[in-house]
């Protein structure tokens, strides 16, 4: 993630024009992925008619799309034949271990775009004006998120598990995963500590996907679910590890403190809370743009969420009766991973 370089920071027509039209690039990438254009070129170069037949689309539409994707350097145009650009086979062809194309259904989704369409309304109100948003129980977006995002969380889940491994005993653990989504965080801990059990809390529509993932990983008999609101559901326990990953930014500082206090309350003696959070550093928006851009999604999509600062994380954990034990930045990403124990 890079800030706008100082020598390009002046407001120019070129920069404004790029900002005005960049959503067209988003649409092109999303369309290429959804139509399966990159898969259609995986076996080798092909003409537009051939690609059109493979993806079941109109030849003229496909030719214009392929030329535009070549303009964006996602494919290469050589006369009237097209081939994958460097890196596309790895990142945009389904079935590749590093496949990243599925993220278009999240980051370039209609859900996010529709929410952002009325940013002006959200700014006027100071929160979401949408009929349905990230806080709506059973929101369908979270199903897509749970299906699509799992693989990209693996390095962060490994880092959190490494941190936890430094403080919890090396034996089967009881793990609670609040707002579990795809379930990767809890499953990663369970696999590192064989024999562990994981209780996943989320809305019922999302938990259907969580349990499918558990089954695929051979964890079905060690994963149970608590469908419902993590702020009010009976969490059971106590647990050796309670996970709160990527949800603190959905709520105000006060509400997140309440959530962390619930996590602290579910801990067994000697247990640890593991948190993954999007954190805004002290550098300010010009040098650290991502958290401030992401907070806009929280503005349009939640009543009071935003990316909290490091100082706010310290206040929230302390307010929840927790003491931060270890904290690391995820390499290359504006996420922090931290472990905490009950204070005192």
Binding site for ligand SAM (CB under 6 A): 142, 145-146, 149, 153, 179-181, 185, 201-203, 206, 229-231, 245-247, 276
Cβ-Cβ contacts under 8 Å for 246 (sequence gap 6 or more):
179, 181, 276, 277, 278, 335
Q: Rounded to the nearest whole angstrom, what is the least distance from the CB of residue 278 to ligand SAM in the complex?
A: 10
Complex with ligand SAM: residue 122 or 259, whichever CB lies closer:
259
Complex with ligand SAM: residue 39 or 202, whichever CB lies closer:
202
Complex with ligand SAM: residue 32 or 305, whichever CB lies closer:
305
Q: Rounded to the nearest whole angstrom, what is the least distance from the CB of residue 304 to ligand SAM in the complex?
A: 13
Q: Rounded to the nearest whole angstrom, what is the least distance from the CB of residue 179 to ligand SAM in the complex?
A: 3
Q: How far is CA 322 from CA 163, 227, 272, 319, in A?
A: 16, 26, 9, 7
Q: Rounded to the nearest whole angstrom, what is the least distance from the CB of residue 150 to ligand SAM in the complex?
A: 8
Token representation of residue 138: 């059973």
Which residue in 135, 158, 161 sits closest to 297, CA to CA? 135
Q: Rounded to the nearest whole angstrom, what is the least distance from the CB of residue 163 to ligand SAM in the complex?
A: 15
Q: Rounded to the nearest whole angstrom, what is the least distance from the CB of residue 61 to ligand SAM in the complex?
A: 35
Calculated CA dihedral for residues 69, 75, 76, 77, nearest 10 degrees: -50
Complex with ligand SAM: residue 47 or 228, whichever CB lies closer:
228
Cβ-Cβ contacts under 8 Å for 147 (sequence gap 6 or more):
102, 105, 182, 209
In this chain, which residue has its C-beta nearest to ligand SAM? Answer: 181
Which residue do the tokens 């430094």 mark? 166
Q: Rounded to the nearest whole angstrom, what is the least distance from the CB of residue 99 to ligand SAM in the complex?
A: 17
Q: Rounded to the nearest whole angstrom, what is the least distance from the CB of residue 155 to ligand SAM in the complex?
A: 13
Complex with ligand SAM: residue 38 or 203, whichever CB lies closer:
203
Token representation of residue 35: 């139509």
Complex with ligand SAM: residue 126 or 138, whichever CB lies closer:
138
Burial class (CB in 10 A: 0-12, 13-18, 19+), 156: buried
Complex with ligand SAM: residue 85 or 160, whichever CB lies closer:
160
Per DSSP, 220 falls in state G
Report d(CA 249, CA 135) in Å as an integer.
12
Q: Rounded to the nearest whole angstrom, what is the least distance from the CB of residue 159 to ligand SAM in the complex?
A: 13
Token representation of residue 142: 């979270």
Contacts 24+ apart (CB under 8 A), 59-64: 62/37
Complex with ligand SAM: residue 39 or 133, whichever CB lies closer:
133
Burial class (CB in 10 A: 0-12, 13-18, 19+), 128: buried
Report d(CA 309, CA 328) in Å as an integer.
14
Complex with ligand SAM: residue 52 or 134, whichever CB lies closer:
134
């Amino acid at each position: 993630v890079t800030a706008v370089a100082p020598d390009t920071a002046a407001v120019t027509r070129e920069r404004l024009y790029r900002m005005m039209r960049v959503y067209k690039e988003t649409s092109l990438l999303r369309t290429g992925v959804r139509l399966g254009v990159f898969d259609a070129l995986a076996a080798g170069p092909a003409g537009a008619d051939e690609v059109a037949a493979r993806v079941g689309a109109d030849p003229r539409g496909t030719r214009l799309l392929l030329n535009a994707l070549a303009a964006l350097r996602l494919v290469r145009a050589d006369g009237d034949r097209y081939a994958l650009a460097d890196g596309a086979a790895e990142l945009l062809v389904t079935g590749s271990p590093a496949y990243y194309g599925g993220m278009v259904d999240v980051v370039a989704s209609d859900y996010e775009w529709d929410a952002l369409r009325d940013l002006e309304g959200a700014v006027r109100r100071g929160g979401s004006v949408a009929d349905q948003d990230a806080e709506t129980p059973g929101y369908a977006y979270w199903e897509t998120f749970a299906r699509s995002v799992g693989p990209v969380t693996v390095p962060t889940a490994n880092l959190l598990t490494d941190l936890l491994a430094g403080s919890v005993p090396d034996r089967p653990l009881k793990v609670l995963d609040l707002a579990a989504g795809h379930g990767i965080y809890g499953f990663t801990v369970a696999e590192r500590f064989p024999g562990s059990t994981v209780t996943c809390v989320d809305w019922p529509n999302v938990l259907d996907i969580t349990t499918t993932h558990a089954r695929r990983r051979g964890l079905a008999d060690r994963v149970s679910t608590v469908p419902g609101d993590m702020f009010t559901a009976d969490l059971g326990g106590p647990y050796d590890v309670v996970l709160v990953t990527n949800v603190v930014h959905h709520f105000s500082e006060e509400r997140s403190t309440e959530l962390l206090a619930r996590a602290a309350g579910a801990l067994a003696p000697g247990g640890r809370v593991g948190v993954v959070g999007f954190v805004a550093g002290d550098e300010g928006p010009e040098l650290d743009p991502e958290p401030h851009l992401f907070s806009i999604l929280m503005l349009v999509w939640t009543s009071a969420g935003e990316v909290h600062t490091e100082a706010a994380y310290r206040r929230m954990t302390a307010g929840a009766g927790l003491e931060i034990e270890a904290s690391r930045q995820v390499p290359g990403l504006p996420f922090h991973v931290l472990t905490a124990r009950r204070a005192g």
